[in-house]
């Protein structure tokens, strides 16, 4: 099972300049905010951009590390988590976009759109593709921080 909640370290600026957020699993993902709440909101956006960049480049998406002391878990926004799950499932299956398109009887362009981080793909379409790959998308709900 793959989890899309990544540990982040919030560091308070001693001069009152807000908080800096760094992700251990994504060295390229650094952001900040004036308050803790703002920093965590920016952190989710930063994480989403880091994963979107990796999908566009065809890079690996690392497994989420366990949070250490002083780190908090930042969940990837659900639409991007679904796209990341599809991206990983395609890579794990070792098939091309065209092969997946044939399995679910759509044009290959539709698979490319599903993997496009900026295209607003509907969840049932991603679920259909994941089903064809033998992967189940599971969502959970929790109280907002």
CA distance 43 to 55: 18
pLDDT of residue 145: 65
Under DSSP, the state recorded for 60 is -
> Are 100 and 133 in contact, with CB atoms under 8 Å apart?
yes
> Are 42 and 34 in contact, with CB atoms under 8 Å apart?
no
CA distance 81 to 137: 9
CATH C-level class of 5-75: alpha beta
Place of tokens 């490319």: 112
> Are 132 and 99 in contact, with CB atoms under 8 Å apart?
no
Place of tokens 């480049």: 57
Q: Do domains 5-75 and 78-132 have the same CATH topology?
A: no
pLDDT of residue 112: 97
Specify the pTM. 0.92
Tens-binned pLDDT, residue by residue, of the chain (145 aa): 889 999 999 999 888 789 999 999 999 999 999 999 999 999 999 999 999 999 999 999 999 999 999 999 999 999 999 999 999 999 999 999 999 999 999 999 999 999 999 999 999 999 999 999 999 999 888 887 6
pLDDT of residue 67: 93
Give residue limits of the domains in the chain.
5-75, 78-132
Span 78-132: which CATH code?
1.10.260
pLDDT of residue 143: 83
């Amino acid at each position: 099972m793959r989890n899309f909640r990544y540990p982040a370290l919030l560091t308070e600026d001693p001069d009152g300049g807000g908080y800096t957020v760094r992700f251990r699993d994504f060295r390229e993902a650094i952001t900040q905010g004036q308050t803790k709440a703002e920093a965590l909101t920016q952190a989710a956006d930063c994480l989403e951009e880091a994963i979107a960049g990796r999908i566009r480049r065809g890079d690996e998406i690392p497994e989420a590390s366990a949070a250490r002391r002083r780190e908090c878990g930042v969940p990837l926004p659900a639409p991007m988590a679904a796209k990341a799950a599809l991206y990983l499932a395609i890579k794990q299956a070792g098939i091309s976009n065209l092969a997946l398109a044939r399995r679910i009887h759509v044009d290959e362009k539709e698979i490319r759109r599903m993997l496009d981080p900026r295209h607003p793909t509907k969840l049932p379409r991603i679920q259909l593709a994941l089903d064809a790959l033998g992967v189940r998308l599971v969502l959970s709900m929790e109280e907002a921080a």
